[in-house]
Amino acid sequence: MAQLGQFALALAWVVTAYSIVASLLGIRLKHDNLIASGRNAAIGTFACITTAMVCLGYLFAVSDFSIKYIAAHSNRDLPMYFKVSSIWGGQEGSLLFWGWLLTLYSALVIIQNWRKHSAMMPYVVAVLMATSFFFTSMHLFIVNPFNQTVFLQAGASPLPFVPHDGQGLNPLLQDAYMVIHPPMLYLGFVGFAVPFAFAMAAMITKQLGDTWIRTTRRWTMVAWMFLSIGILLGGKWAYHELGWGGFWAWDPVENASMMPWLIGTAFLHSVMVQEKKGMLKVWNMVLIILTFIMSVFGTLLTRSGMVQSVHAFAQSPVGGYFRAFIIVALSGALYLLFDRLPYLKSENQMESIVSRESSFMFNNLILLAACFAVFWGTMFPIISEAATGSKITVGPPFFNKVNVPIAIFLMLLTGVGPLLAWRRASTNSLKRNFLWPAVIALASGVVLYFRGVQHFYALLSIVMSVFVTATIVREFYKGASARSSGTGETFLEAVVNLTLRNTRRYGGYIVHFGFVLLFIGWSGQAFTTDAEGEMGIGDTLPIREYTLRVDKLGIEDTPNYASDKATLSLFEYGKKVANLYPEKRLYKAGQEQQPTTEVSIYSTAKNDVYVVFQGGTRDGKKAIIQVFYNPLTMWVWIGGIVLVAGTLIALLPNKKTILRRRPEAESKEERKEIEEKIS
C-alpha cells in the first residue's frame, strides 16, 4: 500500500503540473479540448490524492510501522478511530490532508461552475492547481508521509527497519474533539482558496463585476462556517483536555486560526457593499487575498514551529517553503490587483457617514484592527528580538487587554449596522430604530450594576449584548408584522417565511445572535474563581454555592493508558447534583510516558464546575483536586451552535427562487438557432 501511495503522490504531482500547463496553454491557443483536458486533470488530481489518503488510512489501520510517519504517530493499542485520525496527527499527514481538501474543493467547484462561467473557469483551475502543485510537491519531496523508517548503522547503508510498536499518538490529541477539530479547521482554511481563485480569475479575465462574488458567496460562507466550527472545537478541546480551566489562551496556533477568520468575516460583510452598490471593489480584492494568505500563514504557523507554542507539534523545514509560497502568491496577486486597478472603479458614491455603507466600512476597520492586533502580538517576540536583541513574551494578558475594547466596539457595530439605511439615515430614522434597544440595554446595565456586576468590561459587554439582541428581535418583529399584515399569515408563519425568503439577511441576524451568546459566555470568564485542596476520602472542598466531596480514589488500567481516578460528589446548596470523575492518565506508548489530565465538568446554563485531578500527595493517600467555578461558559458552545445554524440558514436558497429555472446559459441548440436567425 505504501508503494501505491507513493505512486499516487507522484502521479498527482505530474497531473497537477499538467493541469496548470494545459489550462493556460489551452486559453492561449484557444484550444478548447486542451482546456477540457486540463479540467479533467484537476479532477484526476483529486482521485490521486484521495488514493494516497486511503492508503495512509489503511496503513494506519493495519499499524504498518515500517512507515516512519506511522511509527511516530500511532501504536498497536490505539483505538481504531484514533488510528484513523492520526492521519492528521502529525505534520506529513496533516499537510496531505490539507492538500486533499484543496483538491476536493477544486473538483466540486469545477463541476458546479464549469458551464456557468466557461470563460473564467480555466483560470480558476489554473490558480487552484498552482496552489495544489505547491502542496503535491511538498507531499512528494519534502514531507512525504510514506517514507520508510530508516535505521542507520555506522558505516552501512541505511536499512529499512520495522519497530515493534509505534511511539503512539500524542496523548493530548487522543480526544474526540481532536478527531474532528483539525478537519473542520482545515476545511475552513482551504475553503478560502475557492473565492481567492475566482477573484484571481476575475482579474485576469477582466470580468470585474460582482459575478465572482456571487458565484463564490456560498463557498466563502461554507469556509467561514467550517473555520468557526474548527476554532470553537479547538476551544472546546483545550477546555476539556488541557485542564487549566479556560478555553482560549491566545496561543500562536489559536491566533493563526483567528486571523483568517477575522479577515474572512470582514470579507463576508464588505462584499455586500459591492453587490448592492458596486463599491469597495479594490478593497474586496485586498480582503480575499489577505484571507487566503492568512490561511496559508496559519498553516505555516502551526506547522513550522516559527513561534513557540503549546501546540509545538513540529519543528521542521517546511517553514521556508511555506514562506516562499506566501511571498510568491502574495506578490503575484498584488501585482495583478495593481495592474487591474483601472478596471476596479467604484460605480457609486458614498453619501453619508451615517449609512449602512459606511457602517460596513467601520466593521471592516474593526475586524482588521483586531486581526492586526493578533498578528502584531503573535509576531512581536520576533520583531522585538530583531529590534532590541532581547527576547520578550507576549502572552494572554496582552491580547485580552488589546482585544477586549476592540471586541466591544465590534459588538456595538453589530447592533448599529443592520439598522442603518443604505445611503443615509436621518436623525428621525435613527431615533425610530435605536430608541428602544438603547433604553432596554441601558436599563439592563443599571439593573446589573446594582445587582453587583461592577467589572467594567463585563458590564459593558453585557449591555452591548442586550442592545444587539434587542435590535435583532426588533428586526424580526417588525419584519414579521409587516409581512403578516400584508399576507394575512400568523405571526409565527410570517417569521418563518420572512427568514426563508431572505435567508441571507435573517440567517445573518441569527449568526449575529450566536455571536452575542458567545460573547456573553466569554465575558463570564472575568468572574472565574478557583479553589484547591489535598483531599482524602470523605474530605470536602467548598466553592461558591457548591461543595465537592471525595467518595473514591482508584486506579483504572487499559491497554492504552493507566489512570488515577477520583470519584467526587458535587453538592449545590447541600443537595447532591452530580458525580464527577476527574482523572490523571499515563499513556503507555513511546519511551516517555506522557501524563494527561482528564477533567470532569458539571455544566449548567449558569456556570460550569470544572474539576481537575492535579495529582496525589507524596504519600499517595490524598489527591490534589483543583476546582474552577466558570460562570456562563456553556453559552460559548450554545452561541457556536446558533452561529452555525444561522450560517446554514443563510446558505439556503431563498424560497420562491428554489424552483426557478437556473439562470445559466442556454443550451447549444438554442444558441445555434439564435445565431442562424441573426445571420
Q: Taking CB under 8 A as the criterion, which residues in 322-361 touch another protein?
A: 346-347, 349-353, 358, 361
| 126 contributes a contact to another protein by CB under 8 A | no
Other CB atoms closer than 10 Å to residue 65's CB: what's the count?
Answer: 21
Choose the binding region for another protein from 162-170, 229-237, 303-311, 444-452 (rule: CB under 8 A).
303-311
| 396 contributes a contact to another protein by CB under 8 A | yes
Q: Looking at residue 619, what DSSP letter applies?
A: T
Nearest approach in angstroms of CB 359 to another protein is: 10
Q: Which of residues 418-437 bind another protein (CB under 8 A)?
A: 419, 421-426, 428-429, 432-433
Among 79, 158, 160, 209, binds another protein (CB under 8 A): 209
N- to C-terminal Cα distance for the chain?
60
Which residues neighbour 238 within 8 Å (Cβ) at sequence distance 6 or greater?
Answer: 246, 247, 248, 249, 254
Among 111, 328, 343, 401, binds another protein (CB under 8 A): 401
Binding mask 587-626 for another protein (x = CB under 8 A): -x------xxx--------------x-xxxxxxxx-xx-x
Residue 257 sits at the vertex; the CA angle it makes with 252 and 263, to the nearest 5 degrees, is 120
Nearest approach in angstroms of CB 661 to another protein is: 5
Q: Which of residues 368-387 bind another protein (CB under 8 A)?
A: 368-369, 372-373, 376-377, 380, 384, 387
Which residues neighbour 88 within 8 Å (Cβ) at sequence distance 6 or greater?
Answer: 94, 97, 182, 183, 186
Please provide residue 600's backbone torsions phi and psi, each rounded to the nearest 5 degrees: -125, 130
Number of residues that bind another protein (CB under 8 A): 148
Q: How many CA atoms lie within 13 A of 173 on its CB side?
A: 24
Nearest approach in angstroms of CB 366 to another protein is: 8
Q: What is the DSSP string of 355-413?
A: SHHHHHHHHHHHHHHHHHHHHHHHHHHHHHHHHHSS-----HHHHHHHHHHHHHHHHHH
Choose the binding region for another protein from 21-29, 135-143, 153-161, 457-465 (rule: CB under 8 A).
21-29
| 164 contributes a contact to another protein by CB under 8 A | no
Nearest approach in angstroms of CB 372 to another protein is: 5
Strand partners, 570: 548, 578
Nearest approach in angstroms of CB 435 to another protein is: 12
Alpha helices in 451-490 (DSSP H): 456-487
Q: Which of residues 259-278 bind another protein (CB under 8 A)?
A: 275-276, 278
**Exposed / middle / buried, residue 156 (Cβ in 10 Å: 0-12, 13-18, 19+):** exposed
Angstrom CA distances, 25 to 58, 124, 128, 325, 474, stand at: 38, 14, 16, 23, 56
Q: Which is nearer to another protein, 321 or 457 (CB)?
A: 457
Task: Report the Cα 321 to chain-centroid distance in Å.
Answer: 23
Binding mask 475-514 for another protein (x = CB under 8 A): x--xx-xx---x----------------xx----------
Nearest approach in angstroms of CB 405 to another protein is: 9
Report the candidate in 24, 626, 515, 600 with the shortest Cα–Cα distance to residue 261: 515
Nearest approach in angstroms of CB 654 to another protein is: 4
Q: Which is nearer to another protein, 567 or 614 (CB)?
A: 614
Nearest approach in angstroms of CB 385 to another protein is: 10
| 661 contributes a contact to another protein by CB under 8 A | yes
Report the candidate in 210, 196, 198 with the shortest Cα–Cα distance to residue 347: 210
Is the Cβ–Cβ distance between 133 and 83 less than 8 Å? no
Q: Which is nearer to another protein, 120 or 233 (CB)?
A: 120
If you search the block for the grid coordinates 470553537, which residue do you land on?
232
**Exposed / middle / buried, residue 161 (Cβ in 10 Å: 0-12, 13-18, 19+):** middle
Nearest approach in angstroms of CB 375 to another protein is: 9
| 255 contributes a contact to another protein by CB under 8 A | no
Q: Which of residues 28-47 bind another protein (CB under 8 A)?
A: 30, 32-37, 39-41, 43-44, 47
| 315 contributes a contact to another protein by CB under 8 A | no
Nearest approach in angstroms of CB 391 to another protein is: 5
| Length of the chain, in residues | 679
Among 111, 150, 312, 328, binds another protein (CB under 8 A): 312
- E strands along 236-338, which residues? none
Other CB atoms closer than 10 Å to residue 409's CB: what's the count?
Answer: 17
Which residues neighbour 60 within 8 Å (Cβ) at sequence distance 6 or greater?
Answer: 70, 74, 83, 84, 86, 87
Nearest approach in angstroms of CB 163 to another protein is: 21
| 582 contributes a contact to another protein by CB under 8 A | no
Q: Which is nearer to another protein, 279 or 601 (CB)?
A: 279
Cell of 617: 500527595
Among 118, 315, 331, 454, binds another protein (CB under 8 A): 118
| 439 contributes a contact to another protein by CB under 8 A | no
Among 390, 575, 591, 676, binds another protein (CB under 8 A): 390
Q: Which of residues 532-551 bind another protein (CB under 8 A)?
A: 532-534
Other CB atoms closer than 10 Å to residue 166's CB: what's the count?
Answer: 26
